Structure 1
Amino acid sequence: MLPLLTPEQMRRADMAAIECGVPSLVLMENAARSAADILQKWLQPPSASSPTVLIACGSGNNGGDGFALARHLACRGWKVMVWWTGSREQMSPETLTNLTALEGLGIPTHHLPPGQLPPPPPPAEVVVDALLGIGARPPLRSDVLPILRVLGSLPARRVALDVPTGLNAETGEADPEAFRAELTITMFAAKTGLFLNEGWHLCGRVEVASLGVPLNLAAAHADTWALEWDDIRQRFPLRPRISTKFDYGRVGIIAGSAMMAGAAALAANAAIRSGAGLVYLYTAGRIHSAVLPEVIARQLPSTPEGWLAAEALPLLHELLERVDALVLGPGIGVAAVPVVAELLRSIPERLPTVIDADALRAITPDSRIPSLWVLTPHIGEFARMTGEDRSHVARHAPWLARQWAQRWGGVLLLKHVPTIITDGKRSYWNL
């Protein structure tokens, strides 16, 4: 798993590295060297033997990263031009050291005082945005806008250091004129805002530059993680040659109705393909022809309209005693919610249970659920369950998901971009 940090968590991780004895100037140097490696590899093969790059730097530490990157690229034969804004008095010692080094080495730099328009830009194959770092929030300052407009007008590849200027590194909200990158080289660990809201559109490909310290320093400050393929593979170990279906669990699926038999088929087939040994499908609808023959399917008593009927409850109670995990809800329809609400009171707390689709209508803002239950709403269902405004949910999904998971208990899997899985304490995102 990869740690995803907020700006505040990133500051604490930086301080932890410094407290371990790694000076801030060394961290900046390592970040710039790693960024140069990433940039050079990304541009391969370059259109010219000596690529030309224009780097726009601010006076904060993001600008310091840009100054150091300029030096490393110049050492590799790149033709480098640096624009910088702000003042030397605003710079940290590390940022000022790297600007002074550029000037001492004769690498071209041009200062842009506040209110002064940028000069005609040189022809550049790549432009790099190192204007504002993770501490900046929209709206953009007036002194930065003219520079961004010039950078955006150039027919060049676009790269952002740490985060694109104009993007909130925590929430992914952005100024309308934020820098739009093809590649974002973020420092030490990815930031949450790169994968939320406008972050998806502004960051392009995201690569993480090393600060030359172990990643566990960043991980120690994270409460949000991005899932990787290896995290999933580890949960599907190789099976012993001598084993049978009875060794791999029994899944019960209560799904479907006369109008939505396909939902039951999809759920049952997915359970088979995920590796369950025995899958029991109990459905009020017809058994769809797409249901795999391995599925043990049973039709339940239904209403004249084809919805799950209360007369099915004794059979469902028997199913609860037979299975090791339960899926409840796909395709059951709104009319079945009273039966679902009654059934929920009978599910043993020991039984891992996924509640999906219209079964979620039985969950209210005041509900409390066992720790082994998983609620799987999409944004619209989640808004209905909580009474929150849908657009508010869409823009603040990670924080609302964590808040409501704490309130309900259990696990919440919010189907969004990204998919958010949380128990209220830690969150895992499927990017």
Structure 2
Amino acid sequence: MVKVDRDAAVSGISSFGLMRAAGHAVAASALRHYPEATRFVCLCGLGNNGGDALIAAAALAGSGARVAVYLMGDPARFTGDAARAFAAVSIPHQPLDTYVPTIGDVVIDGLFGAGLSRAVSSDVAALMRTVTDLTLPVIAIDLPSGVDGRSGQVLGESFQAAQTVTFMTRKPGHLLLPGRTLCGVLQVINIGIPARIVTSHRASLVENTAALWHKAVQVLDPAAHKYRRGHLIVFSGAAPSSGAARMSATAGLSAGAGLVTMVAPTEALPTLAAHLTAIMLRPVDTDEMLSDLVKDTRLNAFVLGPGFGAPDRARRYVAALSDRSLVLDADGITAFRDDPQFLFAAFRGPVRLVLTPHDGEFSRLFPDLAADTALSKIDRATIAAERSNAVIILKGSDTVISEPNGRVAINANAPPWLATAGSGDVLAGIVGAHLAQGMPPFEAATSAVWRHGVAGNKAGEGMTAENLLRAIRPLPRMPSSLARP
């Protein structure tokens, strides 16, 4: 956005005009949401966010509202448009450390914005805590002060905003946790920068929505048979731990794979047969039996890891599948903790591996990235994808999906109750089904994560993984007139 602002000015657009538009948008939000406010308290840093807050203060005063302005630092340090805003605002101002939060105040937070890179000072942190303790409404300009716009992490302390007003586009901190929960209701305001300038600086980073992957969703051919819809293989471990793999297999069938076969040791087959009907079973007890299995080119995709155990066997199986589309989850990931490079080397070339770690599993394959606190979740997923030549689904309430060429999606539709036993197994099966149907790995992963979130919302709070399976719904499909040939 710094580059966007710069290019907008170079193109002839008044940067102060943009600041005025931003400040007026903040004032409009304040009046719309809090007409009953006793006073609007504008907290102004010395950067452009402070300038926005000063413009908002003038607009609020002009509307007849009671307004107080508090500055964080010497006003002589204002520069550029912020200095111009300060000169244009005739409202008396006071030092920030003299502000005493009072019931009835609505706080306009213009202290730091999205560019904060270090922890807030102890006096500002104390003020934030007081405002929070009094449950005063906070309208944040761009981002709640204290939230890192790049990572969504809190740098020491932050405001808990009721409303956040940002401009032209969202920032990563609006979607990544805990920033997302600290923003309150997010408003994205167009302040007049042409779309061509904004899009020219857009990174390969988006929110995960249907617009990202809908072209990869195939319209069903009325004449299609089950093999045309893909054949998914899910590997099971021993009978006592086979429940996780059964979840994955059932999810794969529910998500649209034409056929699903569970591959398991012979001793586990009676247990599997007692629980499954539409899913086929096949015994594999030796590497030779596995070799015979993978000779069948109709088998489109594989899922290995849920409840699998047996790390030595997992490593051998993965090596045998290195030229196939594979979702590696749970025990399959952990099996490579002592030699992740072996896994990465096996899947060089076209991307065909999808890794689905939660933070703990991620640290087993990428301990250096997990330990580096300077990296955001986006950074970790991006570097891991490039290193492993795999699509990474770094799970959580703010799941990040990344592929080796740098494309990244942040998922924001998952309810917190998806954090339950078996939920990840269901996700692995959905990804496998999408791969089996021919979707590219990144689109298979992003659409599966989105679909998983939709199912979680449909199942509702208190759901179990079994409820989640029943809540899987079809993906949005393009109209047939728009379908690719």
- TM-score band, normalised by shorter chain: 0.7 to 0.9
Q: 1:152 & 1:109 partners in 2: Cα distance?
A: 25
How far does the alpha carbon of each residue in 1:334-370 deviate from its partner, in whole angstroms, 9 at most, with x for none? Answer: x1x3333223333363x32211121224443323224
Correspondences of 1:397-408 after superposition (within 5 Å): 397-408=377-388
Evaluate the alpha carbon distance shift between residue 314 and residue 199 of structure 1 in structure 2; reply closer, same or farther with a 3 A threshold: same
Q: Is the 8 A contact 2:43 2:53 kept in 1?
A: yes
Aligned to 1:111: 94
Gaps of 5+ in 2: 413-485
Task: Compare the two structures and name the one with the higher helix fraction.
Answer: 2
Deviation at 1:427, TM superposition (A): 1.6
Q: Which residue of 2 aligns with 1:358?
A: 331
Matching residue of 2:22: 31
Q: Report the alpha carbon displacement of residue 298 of structure 1 after superposing the two structures with TM.
A: 1.0
| Percent of residue pairs identical | 28
Offset of 1:379 from its aligned partner?
1.3
Selected match of 2:169 from 155, 180, 189? 189
| CA distance 1:184–1:391, shift in 2 (3 Å) | farther
Alpha carbons 2:369, 2:380 under 8 Å: kept: no
CA deviation vs aligned residue, 1:214-273 (integer Å, no higher than 9, x gap): 455344331322212443555435434454434322222223431222212211121122
Map 1:318-397 onto structure 2 (within 5 A). Answer: 318-319=295-296, 321-333=297-309, 335=310, 337-347=311-321, 349=323, 351-363=324-336, 364-366=339-341, 367-368=344-345, 369-370=347-348, 371-388=351-368, 392=372, 396-397=376-377
CA contact (8 A) 1:163 1:194 kept: yes
In 1, the alpha carbon distance for the partners of 2:374 and 2:315 equals 27
Residue 80 of structure 1: CA displacement?
Answer: 2.9
- Could you tell me whether the CA contact under 8 Å between 1:38 and 1:209 is conserved in 2? no
Displacement of 1:299 in angstroms is 3.8
Quick one: structure 1 residues 361 and 122, their matched pair in 2 at CA, closer, same or farther if it must change by over 3 Å? Answer: closer
Could you say what the CA RMSD is over the residues aligned between the two structures, in angstroms? 3.1
Greater fraction strand: 1
Q: Count matched residues.
A: 399
CA distance in 2, matches of 1:55, 1:28: 15
Name 1:11's counterpart in structure 2.
Answer: 2
2:115 aligned to which of 124, 130, 135? 135
Distance 1:324 1:149 in 2: 54
| Alignment partner of 1:298 is 2:298 | no
User: Contact 2:234/2:249 (CA < 8 Å) preserved in 1?
Assistant: yes
TM-score with structure 1 length normalisation?
0.81
Structure 2 residue corresponding to 1:420, chosen from 388, 397, 400: 400
Residues 182-217 of structure 1 deviation map (CA, whole Å, 9 limit, x = unaligned): 322233332223444542453333332323224553
Q: In structure 1, the residue corresponding to 2:379 is in which secondary structure? A: helix
- The equivalent of 2:476 in structure 1 is none
CA 1:415/1:119 → structure 2, altered by over 3 Å: closer, same or farther?
closer
Instruction: Quote how far apart the aligned CAs of 1:164 are.
Output: 2.0
Deviation at 1:392, TM superposition (A): 4.8
Q: In structure 2, how many angstroms separate the alpha carbons of the residues matched to 1:413 and 1:155?
A: 36
Q: Which secondary structure state, in structure 2, belongs to the residue aligned with residue 380 of structure 1? A: helix
TM-score by length of 2: 0.72
Is the 1:224–1:427 Cα contact (8 Å) retained in structure 2? Answer: yes
After TM superposition, the structure 1 stretch with the greater mean CA deviation from structure 2, 121-130 or 231-240, is 231-240
User: How many Å apart are 1:19 and its aligned residue?
Assistant: 2.4
User: CA distance change for structure 1 residues 38 and 216 in 2, over 3 Å: closer, same or farther?
Assistant: farther
Name the counterpart of 1:277. 258
| CA shift in 2, pair 1:52/1:130, >3 Å | same
| Residue type of the alignment partner of 2:92 | T
- Matched residue, 1:20: 11
